[in-house]
Homo-oligomer: A and B are copies of this chain.
Amino acid sequence: MVQEITEVTVRDVRFPTSLEQHGSDAMHTDPDYSVAYVVIHTDTGEKGFGLTFTVGRGTEIVVCAVQALSTLVVGKSLQEIVGDFRGFYRLLTSDGQMRWIGPEKGVIQLATAAILNAVWDLWARTEGKPLWKLLVDMDPEQMVSCIDFRYISDALTEQEALDILVKGREGKAEREAQMLQDGYPAYTTSCAWIGFSDQQLTQLCSEALSSGWSRFKVKVGANLEDDRRRCALVRKMIGPDNTLMMDANQRWDVGEAVRWVSSLAEFKPLWIEEPTSPDDVLGHAAISKALAPLGIGVATGEQCHNRVMFKQFLQASALQFVQIDSCRVGSVNENLAVMLMAHKFQVPVCPHAGGVGLCELVQHLILFDYICVSTDLNNRMCEYVDHLHEHFTCPVVIHNAHYLPPKAPGYSCEMLEASVQKYQFPDGEVWRKIQAEEQEST
């Protein structure tokens, strides 16, 4: 049966998280967690749901980009797309005119991700499988045909990718059973946003410990004394055997990063995340080299905009943890390339999540990574942030600090229609109320 795509709709949905400082960090002080929410409609009535994550203002620009790219999608059938997924990927990312305003970066790449996420959701639903299972069951040849190797063949050839996937078949059934039983290990970022008070931090850590969490991330980078106090507090709460990570959200220059992190070394972080500009491969390499003697790794990726950047981070030994993101790069297609390169370079993948729907999406990718690529859990874990899941039809299920594999067909990012309507910007009920309050107070 052929399913023709008849329409692509996109809406601007924003949650006023800045009101309570959820998601605040050294660079994003007042985020309103948001999405450009895409629905692909087909002539059979089946739909595909996709999104890309944003933090408030500017979401309308991504919406505009989705609308522009939609003209390349409408009229195609799902079967035509997945029959030459590499070609379709190239069509979206290398349009002879729109390529100029990227290429493969920023707004146009976020929009590409939202659309492709919806295509993958549609494919998985059509096959009646959760996305991770679609990937796990996929023939290596077909999987490789979804990847655009342009600009990465000097680091990973198509044949090498195929070899990795064929090798990953060994023991696949056992690892799948293991995941279905135990789930994939997670860490929490919910305890220590930069806008939280010490009291909030203490309470949230205490609650997380009693729920079985053993890995904690703290936001740093705004003020060194604050960082020292907060890291000391968290380390004391969690004890020496649990894992602490630090995240600076790009706050520093290269030399500054080395000095600042060195003076937090006594709190024994596993990694420092985003120490400087996400574009600075050589800077991250210098920081990695300087921090290695202290036993601190460098993690980055949530703002690494495409496979060419990840390739260089790996080639230059500029990171020790690869943080893939389900919306920053070109969806599953490009993340497959990144996971395969990470495997070749023997660097663990520890996905970025949180935001809106990022946990729902990326859990599928990391399950696939473990079952079919890395086959390893050492030094690997997936970020978890405990908010906004209630707006999804199939929210993540966390048990004992592990992600349990989703069972419903698709890519888990269908939102409740009531939530979309309520939080739609600027016309939804929540935003009309906020605007009315703002007008009253002025």
Contacts and interface: CB of A to CB of B under 8 A. Distances in A.
Interface of A: 27-32, 54-58, 60-62, 64-65, 68, 94-110, 149-154, 250, 253-256, 276-283, 286, 303, 305-306, 308-309, 311-312, 315-316
A161 B282 CA distance: 21
A97 B30 contact: yes
B101 A58 contact: yes
A56 B100 CA distance: 9
A57 B65 contact: no
Contacts of A28: 96-97, 99-100
A25 to B, nearest CB: 10
A152 B108 CA distance: 26
B108 A109 contact: no
Give the residue among A62, A104, A253, A312 with the most B Cβ atoms within 10 A.
A312
Nearest to A316: B282
A55 B255 CA distance: 39
A154 B254 contact: yes
A65 B61 contact: yes
A154 B285 CA distance: 13
B153 A62 contact: no
Nearest to A282: B312
Nearest to A34: B97
A54 B106 contact: no
Contact of A105 (B64, B98, B106): B106
A360 to B, nearest CB: 19
Contacts of A29: 96
A95 B18 CA distance: 14
Given A58-B108, A106-B106, A154-B254, 18 more contacts: A31-B96, A54-B97, A54-B101, A58-B65, A61-B61, A61-B65, A102-B107, A106-B107, A149-B253, A153-B253, A154-B286, A277-B308, A279-B306, A279-B308, A280-B312, A281-B281, A282-B311, A283-B308
Give the dominant DSSP class at A's interface: loop
A107 B65 contact: yes
Contacts of A58: 65, 68, 95, 97-98, 100-101, 108
Which 8 A-B residue pairings sit nearest by Cβ, starting from the closest? A106-B106, A107-B107, A56-B97, A57-B97, A58-B98, A154-B254, A151-B277, A64-B64
B101 A315 contact: no
A150 B253 contact: yes
A100 B249 CA distance: 11
A151 B255 CA distance: 10
A311 B253 CA distance: 13
Contacts of A281: 281-282, 312
Contacts of A97: 28, 30-32, 54-58
Give the residue among A29, A151, A255, A278 with the most B Cβ atoms within 10 A.
A151
A69 to B, nearest CB: 9
A104 B283 CA distance: 17
B61 A57 contact: no
A254 B61 CA distance: 33
A68 B107 CA distance: 13
A174 to B, nearest CB: 37
A273 to B, nearest CB: 16
A62 B64 CA distance: 9
Nearest to A153: B253
A311 to B, nearest CB: 8
Nearest to A152: B253
A264 B125 CA distance: 50
A31 to B, nearest CB: 6
